[in-house]
Amino acid sequence: MKRKLEVSELIFKILSYLFLTVFALLCLYPFVYAVSASMSGRHAVEYSQVVLFPKEVQFEAFAMMFQNNMFWNAYSNTLFLTLYGTLWAMGVSILGGYALSKKRLLFRKTFNFFLVFTMWFSAGIIPQYLNYLQTQTVFRAVGIMDDKWLVVIAMGMAAMNIILLRNAFENVPSEIEEAAIVDGATEFQVLNKVYIPMSKSTIATVALFFAISRWNGYFWARQMISNQNEHPLQVFIRLQLEQYTDPEQIAGWNRIYASDSVIYALIVCSIIPILIIYPFIQKYFAKGTNAGGVKE
């Protein structure tokens, strides 16, 4: 019986590793293809000759993109939205999660119910859009003309992330908080010196969620930011896609790279920062999700 169990376990492991390897390669292939297509010549891309490795290698698509001032402007706008959007959202989420983790909070159950209720039911896109328009009017009235701040502040709350932080804070031993209060620590000092350091895995995970959401944000940035100079990278890529797939725009195009190569080059450059940051936060990912997703 033990022998049969060992054989079946070995077969299961082999099949599992094989499945995960194939799945990982399938997930990796689109990025590899985007890199290859961005570096391949016009003929190879337009006639679908690029499968895995680049053909007729050229870097003119990247050179043309780097010479476009609008590209760098969009990149800076995306960095602005990601940095300030993540900081604002983390501030709201940490304070909200900390408050909701306290049993002494008045109407705690009611607040938790309404927070979860927003995950079950939503008013819809149109009411949300009208709400943002009213917020934009208020911003205009107080002299804030930069619509990027509207996107930063409007996207500053995510119920799921607050729940993750709330659960993580609830798992912090109350004895440590009581010892800090006895030593004269204030509420903010308890949060800063006790809860945040002991929940850094969950905080890093939630920060990654917010950062990726801001970096990839397209829909509301397209709807609420009217000034083209304030468009983030994702909106810029979409506008470039519309331009380079327009037959009138590329008619008579006499260049060594295809119009799709420019789009793929933009996509590659938009992914690079996430690829650089993610390995440093990955070690917190599983631990942080488990700590915030499981309530003891």
pTM of the model: 0.81
> pLDDT by residue for the chain (296 residues), tens digit each?
556 657 778 888 888 999 999 998 898 898 889 889 888 888 888 888 888 888 888 888 888 888 888 889 999 999 999 999 999 999 999 998 999 888 888 888 888 888 888 888 777 788 888 888 888 888 888 777 778 888 888 888 888 889 889 988 888 888 888 888 888 888 888 888 888 888 888 888 888 888 888 888 888 888 888 888 888 988 888 888 877 766 655 555 567 777 788 888 888 888 888 888 777 776 666 554 555 444 44
Say how far apart CA 168 and CA 41 lie, in whole Å.
51
**What is the model's pLDDT at position 13?**
85
**What is the model's pLDDT at position 254?**
60
Q: What is the DSSP string of 195-259?
A: IHHHTHHHHHHHHHHHHHHHHT--HHHHHH---GGG--HHHHHHHHHHHHT-HHHHTT---SS-H
Upper half-sphere CA count for residue 238 (Cβ side, 13 Å): 13
Domain definitions of the chain by residue range: 70-231+269-293
Pick from 250, 261, 265: nearest CA to 55:
261
Say how far apart CA 25 and CA 3 lie, in whole Å.
33
**What is the model's pLDDT at position 245?**
66
Task: Note whether 168 and 292 are within 8 A (CB).
Answer: yes
Give the alpha-carbon dihedral of 241, 153, 115, 106, to 10 degrees: 170
**What is the model's pLDDT at position 108?**
86
SS3 content of the chain, % helix, strand, coil (to 5): 75, 0, 25
Region 70-231+269-293: CATH code: 1.10.3720.10
**What is the model's pLDDT at position 85?**
92
Say how far apart CA 11 and CA 163 lie, in whole Å.
39
Say how far apart CA 193 and CA 226 lie, in whole Å.
42
Task: Collect all residues with Cβ–Cβ distance below 8 Å to 78 and sequence separation of at least 6.
Answer: 214, 215, 232, 233, 234, 270
